[in-house]
Structure 1
Amino acid sequence: MTISRVQLKMQCDSNPVRQGSDRTLETRPTTCSCCGSDISREIARGRDYIYQASDVYLSLVTCERCEHIYLNPQPTISSLPVMYPSNYGTFSSKFRGGYNLLAVIKNKVNFRRFKAVAGVLAKGMRILDVGCGNGELLRALATVRPDLELYGLDWHFPATTREELEAVGIHLVEGTLEDAALPENFFDRILMYQLVEHLWEPRIGLAKLATTLRPGGVIAIETPDTDGYDRHLFPKGTWGGYYVPRHLNLYNFERLAKLLGETGFEIVHQKSLPAPVIWCYSLQAALQERYGPKTWTARLFDLQNIAALAGFTLLDMAAIGIGLKSSNQQTVARKPVSD
């Protein structure tokens, strides 16, 4: 389902993002976004365990032809305010602020990962952060490299966020990736952290990014990995990578590499990354299924629990060290240079 920019603006104007009293989650059947097949089988069912904006259980299915995992039926555009309520992580200021330890750690981790994949950045290079949320990474880049041209794309920017980002020279594009107006052969680096899984039309979105990336330019993608060793510990839909109802399409290394190859990229490398957030989400969901949605025990794995995040990070690092795949993957690809 492609969402037009006009539709999105009308939706936001008439029904602004909120933790609404209307918990309706309108859905519609869909087909596999990788191969187009309409034959699938259910592998799990889950609901919104994290924000509890809806009680509706949705099905995770796997395509019988190509094994792609996706949400079916999927929420429609009218459900955006329920999918992304006002306290949604990238809208909220919950983890922001220079004295917030979690924000400091998160910023340092993201910045280190960016430097590892960005390579040498010449003066004036253009960087696009797709799904930039509140722009934490872009603000960090603007501080250390004011000579770069920084752009952020997301479907909605609260007024305060827009004001803060534009004040430090960051250019904002508001709308869905599928329909955003992006110039051809323009960007040198594109970041897509925890975003591709949110797309209704990932093939259209990635093809657009291949068009807007300059030849030889690099894209870095981070997304859940359905081959993560811990996914099968949470078989009933509570695995944090499912993140119902927001994660619409999910990948492993092979399926993501195939999709990128089909949309104009060539793979540079793929690797597993620690996934402490997914561990916390999985345990919150499992506890809610066992003890009810209002159980206090789920708060033991709140994302502000630094000890839990650190412990799961060390666990995943050990697992990766012995050859297992975690529930978070990084894929770096580039746009080929024409002969």
Structure 2
Amino acid sequence: MPDTTMLPAGSILPTTMEVTVGTPELGITGERTVPGIPAENYWFRRHEAVYAALPHHVPRPPRQVLDAGSGEGYGVAAMARLWDAAEVVGVDYDAAAVEHARGTYGSSRCSFVRGPLTSIPLQDNGFDVLLSLQVIEHIWTPRELLGELARVGRPGATVVISTPNRLTFSPGLGRRERPANLFHTREYDAMELAGLVGETLEVDSVLGLHHGPRLTAWEAAHGSLPAAQLAGPPEGWEPALADLVAGVDVADFTLSGEALDASLDLVVVGHVR
């Protein structure tokens, strides 16, 4: 496995502009990542990049896949396209998100279940691949989440967990200090996250999501891209920034085992013991 994974060009979704997300039952919170909104596209692609990289880290095509914290549901549909023989289940506690996901993506191979991630309402030893992406930072009792992933996964099942890197997402925040983000209960650095996951699961690798060459070059000229987006509402952005954000793709990100402390997001790949 190379140290750096260049993510594929193009979306793993056939399109992101046909999904209606601004409905009353599924409000935009800034935390639930959704497709189809140009001003949110950077954050959506940053999340989608981890789904796109999964074939590099899953040794064989799975039969059953779990997305724990499936949110809007696009990741479940994306994984069903990655592995055309897999059944994919999304679990989320938010009733509106589950209803929306069922109506938008539900199919014979994509199903959605409502339930707490600290007590997943699914049977033991049922899944070959388990994901929980950008979720653990929201969980008050993360060891319960990890225990549930171990319980519902088959021995040897691949587990992928991602979360924002505390060192770059909340500079100056110390370990176990309460984040300023009201949706987050705890944020992690690479060693902290790997140690927590390793208490319950075998950790195979710890990776960091980084900007690829195009976004790195933009930041060299203009400064932090996330900061530029957060500096003001999208309607006030300069046209060049708006165009850049709307055009970001998964190919604008890389996954690497190097420079973890400088990464945007952390990704732990492991397996069930």
Q: TM-score range by the shorter chain?
A: 0.5 to 0.7
- Match of residue 16 from structure 2: none
1:225 aligns with 2:165: yes
1:88 aligns with 2:24: no
TM-score by length of 1: 0.55
Aligned-residue Cα RMSD (Å) equals: 4.3
Q: How does 1:1-339 map to 2 (within 5 A)?
A: 86-88=27-29, 95-96=35-36, 109-122=49-62, 125-158=63-96, 159-228=99-168, 231-232=170-171, 242=179, 244-262=181-199, 264-274=200-210, 280-285=225-230, 287=231, 296=233, 299-300=236-237, 305=242, 307-308=244-245, 325-336=262-273
3-state SS in 2 of match to 1:207: helix
Cα distance in 2 between the residues matched to 1:157 and 1:204: 21
Cα distance in 2 between the residues matched to 1:103 and 1:255: 24
Q: Which amino acid aligns with 1:153?
A: V
Is the contact made by 1:138 and 1:170 (CA closer than 8 Å) also made in structure 2? yes
Distance 1:138 1:301, change over 3 A: farther
Q: Which amino acid aligns with 1:86?
A: G
How far does the alpha carbon of each residue in 1:65-119 deviate from its partner, in whole angstroms, 9 at most, with x for none? xxxxxxxxxxxxxxxx9xxx822357686x239xx98799568634421212222
- How far the C-alpha of 1:161 sits from its partner, in A, is 2.5
Cα distance in 2 between the residues matched to 1:115 and 1:145: 9
Cα distance in 1 between the residues matched to 2:257 and 2:58: 23
Task: List gaps (5 residues or longer) in structure 2.
Answer: 1-21, 216-223
Distance 1:106 1:251, change over 3 A: closer
- How far the C-alpha of 1:330 sits from its partner, in A, is 0.9
Cα distance in 2 between the residues matched to 1:153 and 1:200: 17
Cα distance in 2 between the residues matched to 1:260 and 1:323: 16
Is the contact made by 2:33 and 2:44 (CA closer than 8 Å) also made in structure 1? no
Cα distance in 2 between the residues matched to 1:204 and 1:224: 20
Between the two proteins, what is the percent identity of the paired residues? 21
Q: Which amino acid aligns with 1:268?
A: D
- How far the C-alpha of 1:175 sits from its partner, in A, is 2.1
Task: Name which one, 1 or 2, has greater alpha-carbon Rg.
Answer: 1
Cα distance in 1 between the residues matched to 2:149 and 2:87: 17
Is the contact made by 2:208 and 2:259 (CA closer than 8 Å) also made in structure 1? no
- Match of residue 13 from structure 2: none
TM-score by length of 2: 0.67
The number of equivalent residue pairs is 231
